[in-house]
């Protein structure tokens, strides 16, 4: 995973954020262009990493894997208006065009696997009754339990984005606010005060590597005023 993250980082950056859609919001019989066309304003996957921002409007690089959306290209749902995404032949091309629209200028890689994610026990059975046994979304609940979900389409992504600056800056700020002299065991374990301060400075420098210079990454780091 460390080497994979390295392939998505450059210019001093070392951290990527994890995103996922579990399940990927697909209706029975809909094609990938249909699904993504319905999410032009916001991407259909959610942040797993612990920072407050839940929407990213730009990124530096990302790698995305989509499972469980058939490689064959089914017809669009009746009444669904066609979009530019429908002009592409393969799911990989559709994803790349979608990323080009959502994150212009970003380095993006995508992989599409036909096999869905297996969700039979011992996988946790926490699914909504609005899912079919194959993990597709329905308008109303079916007569069987959510425990009957056997598989589902899933999207997972790793992304290097300007929003990581706020996460790293917040971590640095929280560590500076701690009075470590009250925790003698912290330093008796072998950590030196100078090493700790050096690590804080490295963390601050790492956060600054995610600046864009266009104000998209939030306000100035409050830790700078410490």
- Please tell me the predicted confidence (pLDDT) of residue 52: 63
What sign for the dihedral angle of Cα 216, 219, 223, 226? positive
Residue 22 token pair: 């579990």
Are residues 133 and 32 both part of a single domain?
A: yes
Query: Is there a domain that residue 151 lies in?
Result: yes
168: Cβ contacts below 8 Å, ≥ 6 apart? 15, 203, 206, 207, 210
Give me the phi and psi of 45, to 5 degrees please: -135, 155
Query: Is there a domain that residue 77 lies in?
Result: yes
Residue 182 token pair: 């009250």
Are residues 173 and 136 both part of a single domain?
A: no
Measured CA to CA, the distance from residue 210 to residue 207 in angstroms comes to: 6
Residue 184 token pair: 């003698």
If one counts the domains in the chain, the total is 2
Are residues 179 and 67 both part of a single domain?
A: no
pLDDT tens for each residue of 91-144 = 889 999 999 989 988 888 889 999 999 999 899 888 888 888 899 988 776 665
What is the pTM (predicted TM-score) of this model?
0.76
Q: What whole-number percentage of the chain has pLDDT above 70?
A: 81
Longest Cα–Cα distance of the chain, Å, equals 68
- Please tell me the predicted confidence (pLDDT) of residue 78: 52
Q: Which domain holds residue 187?
A: 165-209
Are residues 103 and 122 both part of a single domain?
A: yes
Are residues 148 and 175 both part of a single domain?
A: no
């Amino acid at each position: 995973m460390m080497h994979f993250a390295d392939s998505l980082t450059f210019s001093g950056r070392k951290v990527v954020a994890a995103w996922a859609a579990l399940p990927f919001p697909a209706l029975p019989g809909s094609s990938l262009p249909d699904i993504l066309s319905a999410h032009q304003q916001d991407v259909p996957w959610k942040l797993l990493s612990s920072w407050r921002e839940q929407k990213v409007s730009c990124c530096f690089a990302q790698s995305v894997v989509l499972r469980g959306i058939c490689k064959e290209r089914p017809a669009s749902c009746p009444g669904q208006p066609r979009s530019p995404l429908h002009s592409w032949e393969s799911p990989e091309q559709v994803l790349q065009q979608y990323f080009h629209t959502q994150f212009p200028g970003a380095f993006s890689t995508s992989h599409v696997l036909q096999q869905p994610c297996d969700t039979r026990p011992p996988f946790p059975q926490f699914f909504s009754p609005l899912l079919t046994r194959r993990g597709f979304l329905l308008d109303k609940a079916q007569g069987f339990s959510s425990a009957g979900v056997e598989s589902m389409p899933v999207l997972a992504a790793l992304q290097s984005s300007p929003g990581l600056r706020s996460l790293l800056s917040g971590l640095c700020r929280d560590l500076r606010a701690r009075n470590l002299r009250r925790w003698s065991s912290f330093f008796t374990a072998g950590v030196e005060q100078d090493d700790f301060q050096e690590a804080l400075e490295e963390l601050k420098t790492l956060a600054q590597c995610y600046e864009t210079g266009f104000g998209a990454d939030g306000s100035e780091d409050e830790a700078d005023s410490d």
